[in-house]
């Protein structure tokens, strides 16, 4: 689960990590605007930041008015900046052309600092441990730094049985070339950040930039926090922090039966992330383009199957539907039965190809004999049939 | 894991046997011929399921009374971490954890604890292991597997089924099918399974099913290049998808351009692995590979 | 560090472990007595318990009035019970004949329960891990249970990297033969107890008895908590909990330069716990009895040496003084020099024997040539000399 | 620890070298002939102590620049746990921790972490190790040790000095003196040291100094009975004191009547160990034991 900037910062603050003062607004009511103006009445300028689950906001633009997703404004222009963002759609390098709807705006002080660093904690799959990544080049594209100045990036693997040790925090403070009270405060901030990583069941905490203030304090200027979806049952995060807009899904692994939207015209229905991906691969290799792909998971209920079939069969973007299911626990006959009924209900004009194998596939074959959709043994053949009828 | 070779019929304990998934799959495993000796569910001790399988309150009791050599874990995710620790504590040599949804930080701690023990964990979030016509310790549809000499290993469940079905259809039965699971951190790696297949006299060739994300296929390729002397066929899913980007910049720094399907395929090819270009070619590619060496 | 019952209970309560209601009194002022009476005005009876660092209070007696260290009284007799204890000396099986002065009295409700268990967590040195010990025979002498019914005691070793797992807590609740809400509450109590053990850096938490209330809740009726002295620098225990009377020391290991009082007439001064014990052993084996023994530690300051010499040379209980020091870091010449000066100052009439070896012992030998105390090479000889002159 | 046999002159790093104890004892170690190659103190990197010993900010830097094989830890107790982890992380083969006062729960975690590594920890709360006329990695008075063939091991510092002095006075020099420390949980047990002495060709006989409390002398006796084929002399301090009662009833349940001097002496005797009846008899008892086998 991705958190918005304002949510991530509120969490970090609860772990004694310093953040700039800020106010989140979800509706531009007079009361909310008054609160914001009151909070920042002594500030010549404030930053107004659109809350979306993607980077590149500063260089992005709103579809509706062309304005940037991060605006520095004086008190007079605060309201205008907020209303230019709220409920509009922001397009950045990372959102794709469709952009993301902005449902919250975060107004923060313009924070003055002397140095900017990069600091993150994530899971290193290859070494099977958490790893802290730090660089004294912060506030910039860290992947570029990694490519051009690998020596300026340090990676510290953490033994999960011990946690982050003081000597490791010192190594990072040394990497940042800090001394005196800044050195001490940096170490404390790093130790707190690791505590937050564990307590929140985070999979990523990325602070970019982490800055040194004029008062020699370490402050998290921007932050990205991802929480392990599998741990939400125990993570003590306030429900108000659950994203108000769903994150852009980039993996089918994490959410069973998730629906991923794509640009093509064939809806792909499959079970298991691996089979979904492999089916999509074959479709592409044979010249097709998917409109979406849906993972039925391992044990979808009839109700869930029905709602997915409703969606797929009535979807205007999809000219064809490809169903490729290998039943393990999943019973193919139930799917066949629901499909027959839903076709009768919606009477779709689109082309539908079905390939079922595994658990109860013989029963499914029998059921589909009476149906207007063919039961295919050969996936390649099914896709070719589909492509032919879609291109007509 | 080598005891799987010498033990033709492991004694299986099912943790969570009285739950929905536990009841269903323990029944299917029994029907396949698996020697289930006990179940364990807290608070359900004293019951029997499937006529004569005794249920115990704890794994420790089940071990005292029935001496299982494998534990099959079918408990819901919030209780799975504890179930794994309970099996480790009872010194069960092999744990097969089917449960999906274990928090990744739990798995980090579990891995770190496993280091000091004699226990092997397969999974979590995996279909289990199956020795055709001998036993099934997992949730796969048994009918698609046939006895033979292919060692099959996969992160994905349904892709393992697909591969087994293609192999069986073409007459290439399996010595053993092992699902290592799709989570970022898992108990047993490709490399662990490859070592087992490489040494297992009943295995003549190996089929490895991978997918984008992580670098475990690259690590497998390294091991194959150095140590495996049997033909290996691989299929990588997700070739037309972007690499898993969940970890953002930090992930990119750690894994670099590894993790993409292209990089995995390239690395495996360089290690002498036969690549199945699409999902429908896995069986055929194996047929060619095994012909080549004969 | 040993905590008093009332201190231990306050700590356990902060970890969500249920305890009976109670009030601690250190002075029998009218205000304090009014508070206690107010708290228990609806109770027909309350328990008044003397706070000392030893068990067997109920069967013990006060030197001054012969009363018991635990008294069940009605509201009318509350004041009398409290004043019978405060500032008096309680003798129990565990205090020895000299008894312990009572500086605090704990008044608690008389708690009704249906079952009594035993539960403790301590460090198992042999297996190098924490261990939980539980028995469904609680409220009795657990060592007797261990001897007569070993099957009724379970020991659960804990992996310190994981902590106490839910399955281990279940095993204990099963050992207690609990079901329903009592089972669930017991598991939660055990998990909380382990959290307390780790967070407090405890070396022992012993709850005897742990009881099942009429409302099916698990309550810690009596408790003993020992905190690792080495961890006091980081343990977040309120200073008010630091014992108001020093515990009976049973080990010389933990407190360098600690003074242990014994019943004989020879003061033993040595350095290092091992050498102290071995010197005492030899003294006893040769027929002597120590009045006290003092561990100078490894690096005693001149000031500290002086104060120890002041004490030893002027102690009326000691007829003789045996000094046996093997200097590692400790410089023998400094000790010799201070001894010479302190003998000049106090002009003690007691017999003094000195055996110094190791670091700067040659210099010490030179210094002592001019002194009225002989420098001995042979410890046996030194002790025999001492015993001879003491018996004169 | 076997590398101590083959490495005549280990390369020593001193953690906490700029503190009071660090400066004093590193100087004494140097004077004894120890090859101190570096020191480490956070924030003091770039300095030199004792003329030409470089100080680094971290153990990692010290390792990169000077490749130490042993770390001598002389930092104050609140920082000692971190210092041990830092040395483990840097993969230093041997850590000798002198510091007294490390919390026991820290030691439990350290022990559990050490299991998965190649690092050995001696101590904490110990006088260190000394190879007479070769090197001293600790805080013992060097002059009382003489080269020879006695392997000396002790929980107590001053008792080790006493034993070494008696042995040297009688002409029995030492192959190596190892202080394992007096804490309830320590890095190296008697058994570990006994194994080393038993295999070390330079060691002809062994002197073991113990004391009341815990059951490590009993465990040593077990090992001696099973494996040690060299004469062993033991002295146990605290014979006229009650056993350590800090752990109350719980401790009594775990350790039973073990832990008393009488039980330790009885167990050691049964394992064929020669017992020195009093502190003044250690050297003489060794003389008799070694005569017996000649």
Q: How many domains does chain C have?
A: 3
Best of D73, D84, D86 to substitute, by most chain A Cβ atoms within 10 angstroms, is D86
Mean pLDDT over all residues of chain A?
89
- D chain contacts of residue A162, beta-carbon cutoff 8 Å: 85, 109, 113
DSSP B243: P
Q: Which residue is closest to B40 within chain C, CA to CA?
A: C167
pLDDT of A168: 98
Q: Which residue is closest to D43 within chain A, CA to CA?
A: A179
> Is D209's CB within 8 Å of C125's CB?
no
For residue A105, list its beta bridge partners: A25, A50
Residue C102: count other Cβ atoms within 10 Å of its Cβ. 22
* D190 or A43: which leads in pLDDT: D190
Helices A361-368 and A332-346, interaxial angle, to 10°?
30
pLDDT band at A392 (very low <50, low <70, confident <90, very high): confident
Q: B86 to chain C, minimum CA–CA distance in Å? A: 6
> Is A274's CB within 8 Å of B161's CB?
no
- Are A104 and A135 within one domain? no
Residue A12 counted as domain residue: no
Q: B130 to chain A, minimum CA–CA distance in Å? A: 13
- Are A125 and A73 within one domain? no
Question: CA–CA separation, A293 vs A276, rounded Å?
Answer: 7
User: What phi and psi, each to the nearest 5 degrees, are found at residue A294?
Assistant: -125, 130
Q: Which helix (H) or strand (E) holds D206?
A: strand D205-211
For residue B236, list its beta bridge partners: B210
Do A95 and A248 meet the contact criterion of CB atoms below 8 Å apart? yes
pLDDT band at C254 (very low <50, low <70, confident <90, very high): very low
Do D89 and D63 meet the contact criterion of CB atoms below 8 Å apart? no
Candidate list C206, C254, C302, C366, residue with the active-site label: C206
- CATH number at C71 reads 3.30.1490.20
pLDDT of B2: 65
Candidate list C6, C106, C118, C183, residue with the active-site label: C118
Candidate list A6, A113, A118, A183, residue with the active-site label: A118
> Is C208's CB within 8 Å of D249's CB?
yes
Q: B85 to chain C, minimum CA–CA distance in Å? A: 8
Of C78, C109, C140, the position where a domain reaches its end is C109
> Is A174's CB within 8 Å of D58's CB?
yes
Q: What is the pLDDT of residues A72-101, one digit of tens each?
A: 999 889 999 999 999 999 998 888 788 899
Please, what is the end-to-end C-alpha distance for chain C in angstroms?
Answer: 42
- CATH number at C232 reads 3.30.470.20
User: What phi and psi, each to the nearest 5 degrees, are found at residue A22?
Assistant: -160, 160
pLDDT of A317: 87
Q: What is the pLDDT of residues D226-256, one digit of tens each?
A: 999 999 999 999 888 754 444 456 666 666 6
> Is C167's CB within 8 Å of B113's CB?
no
Q: A209 to chain B, minimum CA–CA distance in Å? A: 13
- Are A259 and A381 within one domain? yes
Q: Which helix (H) or strand (E) holds A153?
A: strand A153-157
Strand ranges (DSSP E) for chain B? 11-15, 35-40, 48-49, 53-56, 70-73, 94-97, 120-122, 128-131, 135-138, 147-154, 174-179, 205-211, 232-237, 274-275
Residue A11 counted as domain residue: no
- C chain contacts of residue B89, beta-carbon cutoff 8 Å: 165, 167-168
Q: What is the pLDDT of residues C128-155, one digit of tens each?
A: 999 999 999 887 778 888 888 888 899 9
Residue A320 counted as domain residue: yes
- Residues 89-148, chain D, touching A (beta carbon < 8 A): 89, 109, 112-113
- Are A264 and A315 within one domain? yes
Tell me the C-alpha to C-alpha distance, in Å, between residue D72 and each of A315, B104, C144. Answer: 71, 37, 46
Nearest CB neighbour to C171, from listed B43, B58, B113: B58
Residue A117 counted as domain residue: yes
Interface partners of chain A (CB pairs < 8 Å, 3 or more) are B, D
> Is D244's CB within 8 Å of C130's CB?
no
- Are C340 and C288 within one domain? yes
- Are A169 and A256 within one domain? no
Q: What is the pLDDT of residues A212-267, one digit of tens each?
A: 999 999 999 989 999 998 998 887 666 555 544 443 333 333 333 467 778 889 99
- A chain contacts of residue D42, beta-carbon cutoff 8 Å: 167, 170
Residue A240: count other Cβ atoms within 10 Å of its Cβ. 8
C interface residues, B as partner, C-beta within 8 Å: 159, 161-162, 165-168, 170-171, 174, 183
- B chain contacts of residue C169, beta-carbon cutoff 8 Å: none
- C chain contacts of residue D253, beta-carbon cutoff 8 Å: 133, 142-143, 146, 153, 155
pLDDT of D94: 96
Question: CA–CA separation, A338 vs A333, rounded Å?
Answer: 9
Do C95 and C43 meet the contact criterion of CB atoms below 8 Å apart? no
String of b and e for D168-198 (b: at least 16 CB within 10 Å)? Answer: beeebbbbbbbbbbbbbbbbbbbbbbbbbbb
Do D279 and D235 meet the contact criterion of CB atoms below 8 Å apart? yes
Q: D115 to chain B, minimum CA–CA distance in Å? A: 7
Q: Report the Cα D208 to chain-centroid distance in Å.
A: 11
Q: B219 in contact with A at a CB cutoff of 8 Å? A: yes
Boundaries of domain holding A336: 252-391
> Is B249's CB within 8 Å of A278's CB?
no
Of A61, A78, A109, the position where a domain reaches its end is A109
- Are A51 and A95 within one domain? yes
> Is C162's CB within 8 Å of B85's CB?
yes
Q: What ipTM was predicted for this assembly?
A: 0.90
Residue A102 counted as domain residue: yes
Question: CA–CA separation, D169 vs D164, rounded Å?
Answer: 8
Residue A25 counted as domain residue: yes
> Is A203's CB within 8 Å of B241's CB?
no
Copy the structure tokens of residue D127: 């006088």
- CATH number at A360 reads 3.40.50.261
Nearest CB neighbour to A122, from listed B100, B219, B251: B251
Question: CA–CA separation, A155 vs A131, rounded Å?
Answer: 6
Question: Which of A338-342, C371-375, D58-62 is least confident?
Answer: C371-375
Q: What is the dihedral of CA A318, A324, A328, A331, to 10 degrees?
A: 70
- Are C230 and C257 within one domain? no
Do B126 and B181 meet the contact criterion of CB atoms below 8 Å apart? yes
* A1 or D179: which leads in pLDDT: D179
pLDDT per residue of chain B (294 residues) written in tens, 0 to 9: 666 766 788 999 999 999 999 999 999 999 999 999 999 999 999 999 999 999 999 999 999 999 999 999 999 999 999 999 999 999 999 999 999 999 999 999 999 899 878 999 999 999 999 999 999 999 999 999 999 999 999 999 999 999 999 999 999 999 999 999 989 999 999 999 999 999 999 999 999 999 988 889 999 999 999 999 999 999 999 888 754 444 456 666 666 667 788 999 999 999 999 999 999 999 999 999 999 887
Residue A301 counted as domain residue: yes
pLDDT of C240: 57
Mind listing the domains of chain D with CATH numbers? Answer: 12-122 (3.40.50.720), 141-292 (3.40.50.261)
Ramachandran category for residue C108: left, alpha or beta (phi over 0 → left; psi -120 to 50 → alpha): beta
Question: CA–CA separation, A254 vs C202, rounded Å?
Answer: 41
At a CB cut-off of 8 Å and minimum separation 6, what does C330 contact? C271, C296, C297, C298, C299, C300, C358, C359
Is the per-residue pLDDT at D6 higher than 90? no
Copy the structure tokens of residue B68: 């299982």
Question: CA–CA separation, D165 vs C379, rounded Å?
Answer: 13
Which residue shows structure tokens 């050992």?
Answer: C175
Omega within 30 of 0 (cis) for the link into B124: yes
Best of D57, D84, D85, D87 to substitute, by most chain A Cβ atoms within 10 angstroms, is D85
Residue A330 counted as domain residue: yes
Q: What is the DSSP string of A23-54?
A: EEESS--HHHHHHHHHHTTT-S-EEEEE--SS
Percent over 70 (pLDDT), chain A: 94
Which residue shows structure tokens 């490519």?
Answer: A147
Radius of gyration of chain B (CA): 19
- Are C224 and C261 within one domain? no
- Are C105 and C127 within one domain? no
Question: CA–CA separation, D14 vs D22, rounded Å?
Answer: 7
Percent over 90 (pLDDT), chain C: 66
> Is C143's CB within 8 Å of D253's CB?
yes
Q: What is the 3-state secondary structure (H, E, C) of B60-125?
A: HHHHHHHCCCEEEECCCHHHHHHHHHHHHHCCCCEEEECCCCCCHHHHHHHHHHHCCCCCEEECCC
Question: CA–CA separation, B130 vs B98, rounded Å?
Answer: 13
Please, what is the end-to-end C-alpha distance for chain B in angstroms?
Answer: 29
- B chain contacts of residue C174, beta-carbon cutoff 8 Å: 57-58
Which residue shows structure tokens 């090479």?
Answer: C377
Overall size of chain D counted in residues: 294
At a CB cut-off of 8 Å and minimum separation 6, what does A250 contact? B242, B244, B245, B246
Q: B92 to chain C, minimum CA–CA distance in Å? A: 15
- Are A213 and A300 within one domain? no
> Is C165's CB within 8 Å of B82's CB?
yes
> Is B57's CB within 8 Å of C166's CB?
no
Q: Which residue is closest to B249 within chain A, CA to CA?
A: A143
Work out whether strand D48-49 and strand D53-56 pair parallel, antiparallel, or are unpaired.
antiparallel
Of A240, A266, A285, the position where a domain reaches its end is A240
- Are A75 and A187 within one domain? no
Interface partners of chain B (CB pairs < 8 Å, 3 or more) are A, C, D
At a CB cut-off of 8 Å and minimum separation 6, what does D100 contact? C256, C298, D77, D124, D125
pLDDT of C247: 39
At a CB cut-off of 8 Å and minimum separation 6, what does B181 contact? B97, B122, B123, B124, B125, B126, B155, B187
> Is B109's CB within 8 Å of C159's CB?
no
Within chain C, what is the greatest distance between any pair of CA atoms?
Answer: 81
- B chain contacts of residue C162, beta-carbon cutoff 8 Å: 85, 109, 113
């Amino acid at each position: 689960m991705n958190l918005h900037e304002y949510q991530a910062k509120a969490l970090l603050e609860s772990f004694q990590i310093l953040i700039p003062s800020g106010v989140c607004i979800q509706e531009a009511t007079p009361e909310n605007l008054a609160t914001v103006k009151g909070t920042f009445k002594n500030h010549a300028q404030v930053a107004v930041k659109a809350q979306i689950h993607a980077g590149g906001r500063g260089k992005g633009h709103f579809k509706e008015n062309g304005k940037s997703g991060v605006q520095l404004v004086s008190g007079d222009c605060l309201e205008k900046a907020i209303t230019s963002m709220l409920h509009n759609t922001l397009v950045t390098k990372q959102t794709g052309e469709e952009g993301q709807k902005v449902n919250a705006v975060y107004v923060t002080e313009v924070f003055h600092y002397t140095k900017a660093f990069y600091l993150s904690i994530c899971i290193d799959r290859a070494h099977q441990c958490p790893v802290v990544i730090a660089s004294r080049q912060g506030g910039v594209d860290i992947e570029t730094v990694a490519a051009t100045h690998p020596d300026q990036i340090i990676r510290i693997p953490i033994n999960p049985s011990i946690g982050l040790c003081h000597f490791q925090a010192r190594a990072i403070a040394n990497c940042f070339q800090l001394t005196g009270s800044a050195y001490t405060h940096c170490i404390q901030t790093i130790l707190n950040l690791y505590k937050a990583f564990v307590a929140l069941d985070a999979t990523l905490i990325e602070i970019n930039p982490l800055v040194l203030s004029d008062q020699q304090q370490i402050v998290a200027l921007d932050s990205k926090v991802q929480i392990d979806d599998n741990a939400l049952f125990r993570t003590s995060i306030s429900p108000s922090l659950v994203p108000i807009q769903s994150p852009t899904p980039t993996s089918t692994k994490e959410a069973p039966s998730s629906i991923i939207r794509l640009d093509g015209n064939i809806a792909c229905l499959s079970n298991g992330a691996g089979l979904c991906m492999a089916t999509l691969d074959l479709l592409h290799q044979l010249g097709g383009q998917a409109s979406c792909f849906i993972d039925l998971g391992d044990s979808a209920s009839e109700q869930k199957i029905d709602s997915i079939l409703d969606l797929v069969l009535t979807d205007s973007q999809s000219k064809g539907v490809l169903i490729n299911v290998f039943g393990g626990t999943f019973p193919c006959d139930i799917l066949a039965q629901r499909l027959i009924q839903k076709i009768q209900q919606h009477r779709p004009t689109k082309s539908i190809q079905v390939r079922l194998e595994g658990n109860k596939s013989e029963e499914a074959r029998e059921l589909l004999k009476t149906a207007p959709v063919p039961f295919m043994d050969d996936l390649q053949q099914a896709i070719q049939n589909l492509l032919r009828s879609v291109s007509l | 894991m080598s005891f799987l070779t010498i033990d033709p019929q492991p004694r299986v304990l099912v943790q969570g046997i009285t739950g929905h998934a536990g009841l269903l799959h323990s029944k299917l495993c029994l029907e396949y011929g698996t020697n289930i000796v006990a179940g364990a569910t807290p608070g359900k001790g004293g019951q029997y399921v499937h006529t004569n399988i005794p249920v115990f309150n704890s794994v420790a009791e089940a071990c005292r009374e029935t001496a299982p050599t494998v534990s099959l874990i079918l408990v819901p995710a919030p209780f799975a971490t504890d179930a794994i620790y309970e099996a480790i504590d009872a010194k069960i040599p092999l744990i097969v954890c089917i449960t999906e949804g274990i928090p990744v930080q739990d798995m980090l701690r579990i891995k770190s604890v496993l280091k000091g023990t004699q226990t092997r964990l397969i999974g979590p979030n995996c279909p289990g292991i199956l020795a055709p016509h001998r036993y099934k310790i997992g949730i796969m549809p048994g009918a698609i597997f046939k006895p033979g000499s292919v060692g099959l290993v996969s992160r994905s469940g349904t892709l393992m089924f697909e591969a087994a079905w293609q192999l069986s259809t073409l007459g290439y039965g399996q010595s053993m099918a092992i699902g290592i699971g799709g989570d970022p951190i898992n108990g047993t790696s490709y490399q662990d399974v490859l070592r087992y297949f490489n040494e297992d006299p009943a295995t003549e060739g190996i089929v490895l099913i991978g997918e984008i994300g992580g670098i475990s296929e690259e690590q497998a390729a390294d091991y194959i290049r150095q140590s495996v002397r049997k033909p290996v066929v691989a299929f990588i899913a997700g070739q037309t998808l972007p690499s898993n980007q969940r970890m953002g910049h930090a992930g990119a720094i750690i894994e670099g351009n590894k993790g993409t399907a292209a990089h995995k395929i390239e690395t495996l090819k360089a290690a002498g692995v036969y690549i199945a270009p699409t999902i429908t070619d896995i069986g055929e590619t194996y047929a060619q590979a095994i012909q080549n060496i004969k």
